[in-house]
Amino acid sequence: MTDIAAGSTATERRHRPSSVLVQFVLLAVTWGSSFLFVAVGLTGLSPAQVVLGRLVAGAVTLGLICAIGRRRLPRGIAIWGHLLVVALLLCVIPFLLFAWAQQGISSGMASIYNATTPLMTVLVSLIALRAEPPTRATVLGLVVGFCGVLIVLGPWNGLGGGDVWSQLACLAATACYGTAFVYLRRFVAPRGLDAIPVATVQVGLGAAVMLLLAPAIAMGPFTLSVPVVLAVLALGAVGTGLAYVWNTNIVMAWGASNAAAVTYLTPVVGVLLGVVVLSERVSWNEPVGAVVVILGIAVAQGRLGRGRSGQGRVGSRRTLER
């Protein structure tokens, strides 16, 4: 009885309103600053080396969290096969694309493109989940959101906010995220598995893939300075490890739809940190486009109307990110 009471007290402490709010703020700052950490990591490492360090650090952190909490990892070849697909789509490929892209665009712009993830999720779900017909709000939100993407691209000045291929790589990365969330919903979510062990296997498999690929793509020269090492550790241990625990606690306390509101804050944090820490320049169309993207997300999720069911569907996918 004492153990049960202690566990109950710990759960209540994690889910107190003040505690959840603190975790929400930490989550927004952590995910919003991940692009800053990538930029710092790239000063001494190649994109593949940054991703390798990030996934290994994240896998170790989540493994320790599972071990300390005595959480059992999912069993069965089928579920591990599904999680390998998720690891590729949610970790390895998009992390590589974003890291590569940030060699040609600012960290702030990368964070803005990352905010298109819910829109990509809706778009993929419309194609893959035929049982869920699109609502007017969903279609309108997609149109508004992708108008925001065009504003960020700035076609009137020759797509001049950064290298166009880098910007397209960011969009390809968020398309991977969207595909991964739909895949998770279709093949993993129905199994009712604990979220943190699932994330542990997912990130661990991603780290294993990067270790296998390392001799081919991550063996170039590198410079390990204190900022570079701390940036990679922050990306993995905090951004991929602790942040997932915070996200799970927020979902349990507030629900998936409210937890998904972190989507609105991460690009704001990313742009501000890029300007303040890295002295990045911001063109007028980038924040304007970001606002339009966020407006599109709000419309697609039904936050500006009565479409609460659409909101719940998209929010549940968003909470699986990182």
Local confidence pLDDT in tens for the 322 residues of the chain: 434 344 444 444 445 667 888 989 999 999 999 999 999 999 999 999 999 999 999 999 999 999 999 999 999 999 999 999 999 999 999 999 999 999 999 999 999 999 898 888 888 888 887 666 778 888 888 899 889 888 887 776 655 556 889 999 999 999 999 999 889 888 988 888 888 999 999 999 999 999 999 999 999 999 999 999 999 999 999 998 899 888 888 877 887 666 767 878 889 899 999 999 999 988 888 889 899 998 988 888 777 764 444 333 333 333 344 4
Interatomic CA distance for residues 202 and 197, integer angstroms: 8
Predicted confidence at residue 36, as pLDDT, reads 96
Predicted confidence at residue 119, as pLDDT, reads 87
**How many residues in the chain?**
322
Task: Check if the beta carbon of residue 293 is closer than 8 Å to that of residue 148.
Answer: yes
> DSSP letter at 100?
H
> Which residues have CB under 8 Å from 119's CB, separation 6+?
141, 142, 145, 146, 174, 178, 293, 296, 297, 300
Q: What sections of the chain are H helices per DSSP?
A: 2-14, 17-41, 47-69, 77-87, 93-101, 107-114, 117-128, 136-153, 164-183, 195-217, 226-233, 243-254, 256-259, 262-278, 285-300, 308-318
> DSSP letter at 241?
I
DSSP assignment of 217-229: HS-S-----HHHH
Predicted confidence at residue 5, as pLDDT, reads 40
Tell me the pTM: 0.84
Predicted confidence at residue 225, as pLDDT, reads 96
Predicted confidence at residue 238, as pLDDT, reads 95
